Structure 1
Amino acid sequence: MIQRRTLLAGAFAAPALTAAMAAWTRAVAADAVTPPTVAELMKKPEVLGASLSPDGQRIAILREQRQGEKRVAFVLIVKADDLAAAPRTVVLGDYDPMQVVWANNDRLLVTLAMDHDANGLKIKGVYDGSIENITIYRAMAIGADGSNPVIMVGNRTNAITDSLDLSRIVDMLADDPDNVIMQIWDPGPSQWTLQKVNVNTGVAVRYEAGSKSTYAWDFQNGVPVVRYDSATTRRTAVNIFVRPQGAADWTFYRKVRSDFGELPAEFEIIAASPERDVLWAMELPEGEDAQVIRKFDLRTRTLGEVVARQPGRGVDGMLVDNNQLLVGVRYTEDRTSYQFADKSFQGHFKGMNAFFENKANVFLFDVDDAHNRFLAHVSGPQQAPAYYLYDRKAVRFDVLGDSRPWLGGRLAPMETLKIKARDGLDLTAYLTTPITPATGPLPMVVVPHGGPQVRDQSGYDHLVQALAAQGWLVLQPNYRGSTGYGRAFAEAGHHHWGDAMQWDVEDCVDSLVKAGRADPKRLAILGGSYGGYAALMGGILKPDLYRCVVSRAGPSDLPKTLADVRGQGDAEIYRWWTDLIGDPARDAAMLRAASPALRAAEMKAPVLLFHGTKDPVVDVFASRDMNAALKQAGKAVTYVEVKGEGHGGWKDEHETTWLEQSVAFIAKSFKS
């Protein structure tokens, strides 16, 4: 039986921080039955990461404390074999910490977001022709005892002004513990370079440069062996080059669609293997119904034997140790699952899940060389992300830190539903129910996911929790076209954006209405990217079903979207998208019928539109056109354009605005 010991965060903190944590603990107890507010869901997490030292003896836990405008970032150093011992606190300063990793057994590398310089003055930059406060990103190397803090690439002149991001550590150089490889932008020739940086001094030495279009590399044994070059201006396609260790020249291997464009990568390097010049790659080969892991030989540029497969589900990733030995292959059922190289560990993982009553995702992200100690990131519908240590020999699961302890006991539960579509296709959907007691049919918000070739799963989602906190049901359907259910299910959505994929969403809604759980007079639909499109199209196809529609960065005019893709000048990318959506030459009528902006007059529900002005995936013209079409048709529409934001990863203040306005918009529609 797995045992648990809870490590109280206050016991780790410096004295000045302990009182604040005690106050927060009292506040959590007082509010234990109150659903969280948007502000609480968006509040900065206290624990931001953890890392296991190369020898497996110590754990670094990255934390942040805030009191009003004051903040302090620090790292707790914990002995892995004596968690009860007082930890060492390494104070980093007034920064936003982002990631921690061990450079070697004695020094840490911490990624920091900085908005002020050493004198406390706000960092300024030019944005769209005006001078504004900006944030820069840097990596700090510091001793595990707090000694000798240095900023990596500190020897670079004018670093603040010529590069916003000097934090990209791309290889840890396992055989050279005093150095790491970092990816640094060189503004002179305007290209990415690789530089070897000393973790004791921060001094960088140029190692290698890419081409003008290079944006990333993969490594084996400290050597760059795969290079990724953008094939289009928006990086919707990627040229992959390979170079075996010891070879002088890069050789073109293939061009692939990039997942940057929200389609799953058709070929992706997952990890280096222990075998020289052999990597592990993920792809969807002919004859397989889901992605598999295969060996990829750099010398012959050929894919070999299948290392792992999960029929009908596909593979999400791998866990390897510091020596590149395979520990496990990750995939998704309704929650995160693994196939382990050591089959006897499967029982341990089963116990970890039982520890959380099989209601959380246990994501293993770090392991020692003995495969005895594991670090896990645990999250679920009612579990905000937390970090745990699992000790295989002791059969113990110990919490290292809860990212948002104030949400404890206050999150809404989620159910997994199995639903039959109108044509008999089996669908899976997730229903989040309010934590507050309620009877009778409830208001419901339908949230179709983006992609469309991704999937939802049972897990923690701040958007879903924000909606459920209002006393609403939240429905997340995995409609046809989603990944994670095999090739046939994904391809069943091709050329069906405006009909069958929408019908699946409608059938999921109908099942909840017929079961008496959802109030048919208080339904709303909200989504982002493809989900935003599905929300708009839902309001067109079922004008009397939804009381309101919320779309964030949703495509609205499919012929125009495809014309934009074609204008990028890459025939293969264009073919990939026409295979998914439809061909304007053959399917012109279907594409027009599946375009919300061309049918705006049919919309009855009020619409809220959000879009970032720098979106590289769905151009901002999509929401501008939808807004104009709705206004011309005399429909109720509110449009919010967010300056400088892309497709995702919005700044906290913009994400908070989007959540608060969406909640208010839906609440008003339910009351009217």
Structure 2
Amino acid sequence: MNTSFYQYLILLLFSTIFQTEIVSAAEYPNDKVDIKPYGLLPKYRSFAFSPNSKHFAFIQRENNIDLFVVMNAGTQAVSAAFRAGTYKARNVYFATDKHVIIVGSKTQKHYQVRGKWENSKAFVYNIETQKLTTLLDNSCVERSQSKIKRCKSRTSSLFPGQSGLGRIIGLNKKSREVYMPAYSGLRKPHYDVYRVSLKTGKAKRFATGNASTIDWFLNEDGTVLAREDFSERTGEHLIYSKTSGEWELIYRNEADIPEFSPQAISQDNKRLFFTSFNENVFSMALDTGEITGPLFGQEGKDVGFIVTDINRKMESIRYSGFTPSYSFPDQKDNETYKMLSEYYPASSVYVEDRSTDNNKWLVHITGNDGAGDYRILDREKVKLQKILAEYPDIAAIGEIRAINYKARDGLKIPAILTLPTDPEKRKNLPLIALPHGGPASHDTVRFDWLAQYLTAKGYAVLQPNFRGSTGFGYELKNSGDGEWGKKMQDDVSDGIKILVKSGYVDPDRVCIMGASYGGYSALAGGAFSPELYRCVISIAGVSDLPLMISKTKSQNKSYSPIVKYWERLIGDPETEKEKLKSISPVNFAENFQAPVLLIHGKDDLVVPIIQSKRMLSALKKVDKVVELITLKGEDHWLSSSETRLALLQEVDRFLEQHNPAGTL
């Protein structure tokens, strides 16, 4: 692209951008911080374009209720706003110009299935008829086995105890049907594909798999192209092709955990695309099984995921790291994204959706330029129009810095450091170490509601991407295997010590807080590095690792991939029982010096609340300062504004008592 013309586009973009921008952070001093805007879920989220770009849809939060909203893109008039019953809103996107797919979930029990499940379901909303219809409805199976035969309007063959019923793997535009995979049968469930009408929601079984089938790939008219099988018992990973009209085995391997899994199809329906260790993209020929690559990759960054359309056709590659980056097949698209990312150098720019003619892009901007907003880029007019802000009531943004530091063994640790808004108040600060969950996850340059609230109060916040984190290449992620409570914890401690040495942080005013794995890390910090911390906050944290893996085994088979995954990351409770005990905070309650706040959702199915209850009991037995806050009706992901706000209020109270930021 001509350089002068490129600069002209930047200037033109600046001149046409919406005028409603983020208010200066200096206008909001930290002593007037309001908890509510931070504790609430985003007011607007999960935006999507209709293929013709005439409408967009999103989820809007009003009075602790999620509404699915459809809006005219030209006039910005609301066409519809509705709920999906008692389901929590998870996602929204368009199947056609008039059919909006919405996905929700809820925690519930199922007939003939032990325990609770986070059951998801898809619905379709017709913009023209204004009718909401359930897709692939298994409600009769949920109610009672005796009613199955009498319920002719339901898909009664579905296995009751399954999640993921909202998944769509293809669209037939001619017949106005979508293809949805689901487990069929009550005794020996198998993973099949159902053809589901967008008009009625009724479903017919379209393709039959087996107990080992885990995925399907189809072309635009619904012809089956490939099937993926994985046997948990034998570890046999198979990929079959049906491009010749008959099933042909094109790939076979044996492993406890599949080395890869196809994610997309080529535009010509001849190849499958997959990632290897999340670092590079490869392709597999459907006629021969030949693997080619690497085709795409960026050093020091993971492939976040392969972006596809509703038929799983590859459209682009999105990379991770501190900020996202993309690889598009068309060089003009790469130039457009470069223009956007250079216009917002201190933020992350996500391409959420594109119109069919590729002229209009829906982008999400989050980071140092504000609390997150959605904009429409008109490429022809070179105009970027702001639609709505995720958090319209938050104006003050703490500075988000992407930093790197060396751990004690020399490994480079990428991290996010968020500082209070006033540059004059960035010395000798109180610090909250905030390790992320996962641990196969990572923190990025984005608006983080919890980190931003803490910096608004006057704290510095360190979010280390310790070893075991994704996003920054295979070496960092792989080096975390077997290092729970050890080197992974050292990475957090080393980051704190470096900030103290640099003068940013007061060593006597450091607390550690985290959720899920981050909650474990917080407890491990209190147990194994007690001299560092003034207080400890664990949200849905693991305290007893043998119990965690034993529970996982009881819910799955001992040879299942999820069990093997945790055994590889942490250890085998049968052969490494003493090791697991030695890194379980529940066994080291005596070591704690700092007061502890435990917070846990009652309906958490990922990390059951027993983990926090055991930690509470252990600490009380040795007369430590500890309290447990139970969030009624809350799951693992803090899906409710009401409970998220309650959590933030408890955190605020606890910090004010044990590590106040003070008047800065």
TM category (shorter chain) comes to 0.7 to 0.9
1:78 to 2:78 alignment: no
Match of 1:147 in 2: 129
SS in 1 for 2:612: helix
Match of 1:276 in 2: 269
1:60 to 2:93 alignment: no
CA contact (8 A) 2:601 2:630 kept: yes
Superposed counterparts of 1:529-608, under 5 Å: 529-564=516-551, 568-570=557-559, 576-582=565-571, 590-608=579-597
CA contact (8 A) 1:228 1:238 kept: no
CA contact (8 A) 1:32 1:410 kept: yes
Cα gap change, 1:617/1:43 in structure 2, threshold over 3 Å: closer, same or farther?
A: closer
Cα gap change, 1:253/1:565 in structure 2, threshold over 3 Å: closer, same or farther?
A: farther
Cα gap change, 1:256/1:454 in structure 2, threshold over 3 Å: closer, same or farther?
A: farther
Cα gap change, 1:467/1:382 in structure 2, threshold over 3 Å: closer, same or farther?
A: farther
Match of 1:104 in 2: 96
Quote the Cα distance in structure 2 between the aligned partners of 1:224 and 1:663. Answer: 54
SS in 1 for 2:489: helix
Q: CA deviation at 1:585?
A: 7.2
SS in 2 for 1:319: strand
Alignment TM-score, normalising by the size of structure 1? 0.78
SS in 1 for 2:37: helix
Q: CA deviation at 1:299?
A: 4.8
Name the count of aligned residue pairs.
620
Q: Which of 374-383 and 203-212 deviates more?
A: 203-212
Superposed counterparts of 1:28-67, under 5 Å: 37-54=34-51, 56-62=52-58, 64=60, 66=62
Cα gap change, 1:584/1:469 in structure 2, threshold over 3 Å: closer, same or farther?
A: same
CA contact (8 A) 2:317 2:326 kept: yes
Match of 2:157 in 1: none
Quote the Cα distance in structure 2 between the aligned partners of 1:453 and 1:154. Answer: 32
CA contact (8 A) 1:326 1:341 kept: no
Quote the Cα distance in structure 1 between the aligned partners of 2:213 and 2:540. Answer: 28
Match of 1:428 in 2: 414
Superposed counterparts of 1:284-295, under 5 Å: 284=277, 291-295=279-283
Q: Which of 531-540 and 378-387 deviates more?
A: 378-387
Cα gap change, 1:564/1:87 in structure 2, threshold over 3 Å: closer, same or farther?
A: closer
Match of 1:665 in 2: 654
For 2:592, give the aligned amino acid: M
Cα gap change, 1:668/1:89 in structure 2, threshold over 3 Å: closer, same or farther?
A: same
Superposed counterparts of 1:607-646, under 5 Å: 607-612=596-601, 615-642=604-631, 645-646=634-635
SS in 1 for 2:496: helix
For 1:103, give the aligned amino acid: A
Q: CA deviation at 1:546?
A: 0.7
For 2:69, give the aligned amino acid: F
Match of 1:119 in 2: none
CA contact (8 A) 1:448 1:531 kept: yes
Alignment TM-score, normalising by the size of structure 2? 0.79
SS in 1 for 2:263: strand
SS in 1 for 2:262: strand
SS in 2 for 1:469: helix
Match of 1:89 in 2: 78
Match of 1:181 in 2: 179
Match of 1:13 in 2: none
Match of 1:502 in 2: 489
Superposed counterparts of 1:429-444, under 5 Å: 429-435=415-421, 438=425, 440-444=427-431
Q: Which of 411-420 and 184-193 deviates more?
A: 184-193
Q: CA deviation at 1:161?
A: 5.1
Match of 1:412 in 2: 398
Quote the Cα distance in structure 2 between the aligned partners of 1:128 and 1:461. Answer: 40
CA contact (8 A) 2:59 2:92 kept: no
Alpha-carbon displacement from aligned partner over 1:500-556 (angstroms, at most 9, x marks no partner): 222221111011112221122211001122222221111122222211111223332
For 2:40, give the aligned amino acid: K
SS in 2 for 1:535: helix
Return 5+ residue gaps in structure 1 as ranges. 10-24, 80-85, 116-122, 259-264, 285-289
Cα gap change, 1:206/1:627 in structure 2, threshold over 3 Å: closer, same or farther?
A: same
Cα gap change, 1:302/1:636 in structure 2, threshold over 3 Å: closer, same or farther?
A: farther
Cα gap change, 1:571/1:405 in structure 2, threshold over 3 Å: closer, same or farther?
A: closer
For 1:455, give the aligned amino acid: H
Alpha-carbon displacement from aligned partner over 1:123-149 (angstroms, at most 9, x marks no partner): 9999999xxxx9995523323xx4352
Quote the Cα distance in structure 2 between the aligned partners of 1:483 and 1:421. Answer: 17
Quote the Cα distance in structure 1 between the aligned partners of 2:139 and 2:534. Answer: 57
SS in 2 for 1:393: coil
Match of 2:198 in 1: 199
Q: CA deviation at 1:199?
A: 2.9
Quote the Cα distance in structure 2 between the aligned partners of 1:321 and 1:138. Answer: 17
Cα gap change, 1:640/1:240 in structure 2, threshold over 3 Å: closer, same or farther?
A: farther
Aligned CA RMSD, in angstroms, stands at: 4.3
1:482 to 2:469 alignment: yes
Superposed counterparts of 1:98-497, under 5 Å: 99-105=91-97, 107-111=98-102, 139-143=123-127, 146-153=128-135, 168=166, 170-176=168-174, 178-183=176-181, 194-208=193-207, 211=210, 217-221=216-220, 222-223=222-223, 225=225, 242-245=240-243, 266-284=259-277, 291-301=279-289, 303-320=291-308, 326-356=314-344, 358-407=345-394, 409-435=395-421, 438=425, 440-497=427-484
CA contact (8 A) 1:528 1:553 kept: yes
Quote the Cα distance in structure 1 between the aligned partners of 2:377 and 2:45. Answer: 18
Cα gap change, 1:473/1:219 in structure 2, threshold over 3 Å: closer, same or farther?
A: farther
CA contact (8 A) 2:306 2:317 kept: yes
Q: CA deviation at 1:300?
A: 4.5
SS in 2 for 1:333: coil
Q: Which of 504-513 and 583-592 deviates more?
A: 583-592
Match of 1:261 in 2: none
